[in-house]
Amino acid sequence: MLRWIRQQLGFDPPHQSDTRTVYIANRFPQHGHYVPQRFADNRIISSKYTIWNFVPKNLFEQFRRIANFYFLIIFLVQLMIDTPTSPVTSGLPLFFVITVTAIKQGYEDWLRHKADNEVNGAPVFVVRSGSLVQTRSKNIRVGDIVRVAKDETFPADLVLLSSDRAEGTCHITTASLDGETNLKTHFAVPETAVSQSVSRLEALQAVVECQQPEADLYRFVGRITVTQQGEEIVRPLGPENLLLRGARLKNTKEIFGVAVYTGMESKMALNYKCKSQKRSAVEKSMNTFLIIYLGILLFEAILSTILKYAWQAEDRWNEPFYNQKTEQERNSSQILKFISDFLAFLVLYNFIIPISLYVTVEMQKFLGSFFIGWDLDLYHEESDQKAQVNTSDLNEELGQVEYVFTDKTGTLTENEMQFRECSINGIKYQEINGKLVPEGVMDDLPDGSIPCLIREEELFLKAVSLCHTVQISYDQIDGGFGDPFSLSHTGNGFTQMEYFASSPDEKALVEATKRMGVTFIGNNGEHMEIKTFGKSERYKLLHVLEFDADRRRMSVILETPSGEKVLFTKGAESAILPYTKSGELEKTRVHVDEFALKGLRTLVVACRHFSAEEYREVDRRLHEARTALQQREERLADVFSFIEQDLELLGATGVEDKLQDKVQETIEALRLAGIKVWVLTGDKHETAVSVSLSCGHFHRTMNILELVQQKSDNECAEQLRRLARRIKEDHVIQHGLVVDGASLSLALREHEKLFMEVCKNCSAVLCCRMAPLQKAKVVRLLKTSPEKPITLAIGDGANDVSMIQEAHVGIGIMGKEGRQAVRNSDYAIARFKFLAKLLLVHGHFYYIRIATLVQYFFYKTLYDGVYLTLYNICFTSLPILVYSLFEQLVHPHVLQSKPALYRDISKNGMLSFKTFIYWTLLGFCHAFVFFFGSYILMGEDTTLMGNGQILRANRQLMFGNWTFGTLVFTVMVITVTLKLALETHFWTWMNHFVTWGSIAFYFIFSLFYGGIIWPFLHTQDMYFVFVQLLSSGSAWFAIIIIVTGCLFPDVLKKVLYRHLQPTNTQKSQMEEDKVSVSSEYDSAQSRNRGEDNWHLLAASPPPALGAALSSPSLLRPSRAQSAVWTPCAASGRRARRGRASVSGWPGWWSG
């Protein structure tokens, strides 16, 4: 129970040793001194709160805000000493702010809990008590034997025990972990691979010893001890034996594995970054402004206290007749009196810092976030998914992004490859209706006929269908319908083949050759079989020369059915063409360049025929290199180079890595908006560069710099210095940088500054072969740089969670790689293309709205307790709230068509210190005008007595300071409301309602509050004050003059700045206004022209239609009548033009 409570409060017990011992099926030793190790349960937790820690943790986070802590102190001071205002004036708004914020954050965290429960409650099968039992994922314990079926994800980190294959192998894809879509083969140790049934697994006696959990996805060290017939057999365990949580089982019916790491100790969860409270740039600016206002407040309180004692230096003001002191007050300590007076002034002036600002900000963020979900432009119809907001605290941060870090696989691409073109023997071909057709030649063969391939075409297709590491899965189906080349006949019916490849390119190429008639049937490790238009051919697989990044090619050596030894190889053009001795070299090179310009991924295919003597030499060298104990990799590289030469060029392929819709346009829009895009991917170097080129991240004219395959710190530093010099020497060409994971680790170790200098001078950066935590380190590197740019990370897999959590704003893509990224993100969208509108439109709107809201609240920030409480909460809060929800400086379509407008609001420009000073001085100036303007203008009708009382000219008492204060307050309410009206560009019926309604509400409330004696109020100083004030003509005159005097300079400033120094946004506004006025004029003009025509027609109707002309609704001519009406209309137009000219109107008035 205690451990469970510690887990709920976020405290996990530390591990006691460096290794863990896992007893398979939880069969612990029977001796009494064994103490089981404690392991985490299998719950995944992406939420921040639990039911136990929500109240203390949320309150702690909220009172970390300076404003909340300040108002708490003020509230406590009001409780402890006698102050001019009631504690309710501070306590009630503070309680409201805390409650609203807690409800909002609690609701958002409840959504995370809901998503976690879906994962933790997923059904799984475990072996318990000799049978297969269904349970929930969260109930898996370390040591449980778990069964996973085909296409299911692994619910925990499992050590593979057995599969449905006799050799104990299985294939998985780790796309959601590292972005790689290729199939990976994992193995079970021979002693457990035979345990393919529940009964044999139940009888299995084995113990796994392994390291404690760590985040490295590619490292696992352990051993398994299997007891068979009293003998212990020990086998080593490595990464090839471990099935990671989040990976997916492919091409294997089922597997059994023992759970070794569960829940938040799984490698996937350890790659999540610890959750931290994200705070936007606007909130940080608010805190800075608040500290400045606190300084002003302290200055005012100290000055007022000093002036009070200076005023009371004279005896007649020390104890006026209306405020006689008690004996205790006369004898009290002067220091305590000074402190008490200082605190009283502090409370009196505390409304200079409006707590309602935080209420309004929280409401604006929460209500404003719904607009993202409601935006139909962010709705993806195919997947029926709309945009999702997980954290509304960062809405305005969408308008401040300077760097975007994006994953590649599943984020920029659809993760689908499609064969497009190929070049064979110097001739370009396209696929048309499943047939290989030369470019420019139409497919004139009847459907169903078998095409006749020439020798070069057939050899090329055979090379493509044999040179790969593709695996095949057969699924039996009912009936015999479908593509004949995708179905194989068995004794029980038909089975459908499904290809699983080591790379998506290979799968696309093998599927393309199958459509063209050369079908890869299977590979059992010794033989490869293909069917050429139904004719089966069996090749003996002699050797596979695996792909590596240095050679950039892979090869297979086969024995053909005729006994000939042949090498097929494919790879990048730079890795194949230099080693060819025959074939159409130049034509193929031209075709490869053409394919690349189209954004296609290119591979060149070649072959080599061996004589018997040559093959014996090749076989001998390969055997020696592969069995060498020293320098095996170097010797293999030498042998591969010896084999892969004197090649015969067969052709090249062009495969399209299908990008998501409008990716190129989105990246270009972000670039125009001043946002730099970095691609961080776990994919291979060549694949990543190809996709960057095709999606527009890299341009063909861009100078690509590379920091790859660095082996040491010195080598990395020297390469960085070379790149920096190269960038400085060339000031014209745009540069793109490619970095791999290993080189990045060296660069970040001791050369961060140099690396950042190179990166910042590059227009685009591509980081490949990145581990998940490396992605987060790159984001953190930019975040903490001296410029402190705002960063955004976007991805779709579990491997992207770290950088999503690290960035200022994290966005998850609702893709095909699970929901981990979505659950841990701040926002979620269905496609990358939606990012443009999310930033350029929603980000723009949210930022300008909340920036104006913050400045306005500090500007408009005295009086009767009720009025103090209601001023910011009721009288002036609704107009700014509605403004902050609906304001649009320019139309959304303009923002999307002109991404450069995003630069106008970058770097928190609307909340700069200069802007803050302007609004603050404006507030002080208006306050000065309110007070002294009222004093001067009312002086004509009143006499200000020495004790502050105001008398009419007829000496009738006007309730003293209350009347004067009410006048000032009335002027203030009207002015600050109209000031916001001047700032509003986009008016809706709701803006009109709350703007004019707020002023009306103030007058109505004041009349009721001061016009009735309320029995539940102890004092009613405002009784009949407002009625008396409004009965004075000079009061109305003063209100009009003061309001006009305050707002006129604002109007003048806006007009001058708009015409003399307009911003890009203001220029767009003026262009939009011109278009709007022009369209309204055109529509009014056409409407007037139509009315004139009908009047003319009514005046001289055709005889047959005279009766119909009396009704305007019947004046629309039918098709049969149009020939009669057209001449009349024409004569009417001529007549109206004549009248316009005669009467002196310009010709354009008549159109």
Compute the CA torsion angle 559, 565, 571, 573 (nearest 10 deg): -150
Q: Which two tokens stand for residue 1074?
A: 């011109």
Q: Which two tokens stand for residue 556?
A: 């297979």
- 175: CB partners within 8 A, 6+ apart: 181, 248, 409, 410, 415, 797, 816, 817
Matching residue, tokens 């060149």? 604
Compute the CA torsion angle 803, 809, 810, 813 (nearest 10 deg): -130
User: What is the greatest pairwise CA distance in the chain?
Assistant: 130
**Cβ-contact 305, 339 below 8 angstroms:** no
DSSP H or E segment with residue 85: none
**Cβ-based neighbour number of residue 307 at 10 Å:** 11
Count CA atoms closer than 13 A to 856's CA, side-chain side: 29
Spatial distance between the Cα atoms of 471 and 499, rounded to a whole number of angstroms: 6
Nearest by Cα to 719 from 699, 697, 738: 738
Q: Which two tokens stand for residue 1055?
A: 């007009």
Phi, psi (5° rounding) for residue 106? Answer: -65, -40
Spatial distance between the Cα atoms of 795 and 832, rounded to a whole number of angstroms: 9
**Cβ-contact 394, 850 below 8 angstroms:** no
**Cβ-based neighbour number of residue 529 at 10 Å:** 15
Spatial distance between the Cα atoms of 606 and 989, rounded to a whole number of angstroms: 71
DSSP tag of 450? P
Spatial distance between the Cα atoms of 699 and 693, rounded to a whole number of angstroms: 6
**Cβ-based neighbour number of residue 697 at 10 Å:** 27
Q: Which two tokens stand for residue 889?
A: 């400086």
SS3 of 1114, please? helix
- Active-site residue, 407 included: yes
Spatial distance between the Cα atoms of 789 and 783, rounded to a whole number of angstroms: 6
Q: Buried b vs exposed e over 977-996: b needs ≥16 C-beta within 10 Å?
A: bbbbbeebeeeeeebeebbe
Count CA atoms closer than 13 A to 870's CA, side-chain side: 16
Alpha-helix runs per DSSP H in 577-701: 585-597, 612-626, 632-643, 663-672, 685-694
**Cβ-contact 933, 1038 below 8 angstroms:** yes
Spatial distance between the Cα atoms of 54 and 742, rounded to a whole number of angstroms: 42
**Cβ-based neighbour number of residue 628 at 10 Å:** 13
Nearest by Cα to 440 from 450, 452, 427, 451: 427
Give the residues across from 532 on adjacent strands. 518, 535
Give the active site residue among 407, 740, 796, 1092. Answer: 407
Compute the CA torsion angle 1022, 1024, 1027, 1031 (nearest 10 deg): -110
Can you say whether residue 497 is alpha, beta or left, with left for phi > 0 and alpha for psi between -120 and 50 degrees? beta
Residue 326: burial class (beta carbons within 10 Å; 0-12, 13-18, 19+): exposed
Give the residues across from 427 on adjacent strands. 424
SS3 of 442, please? coil
Sheet of strand 131-136, all strands in order from the earlier edge strand to the far edge: 131-136, 123-128, 145-149, 254-261, 157-163, 242-243
Matching residue, tokens 């294959």? 165
Catalytic residues: 407
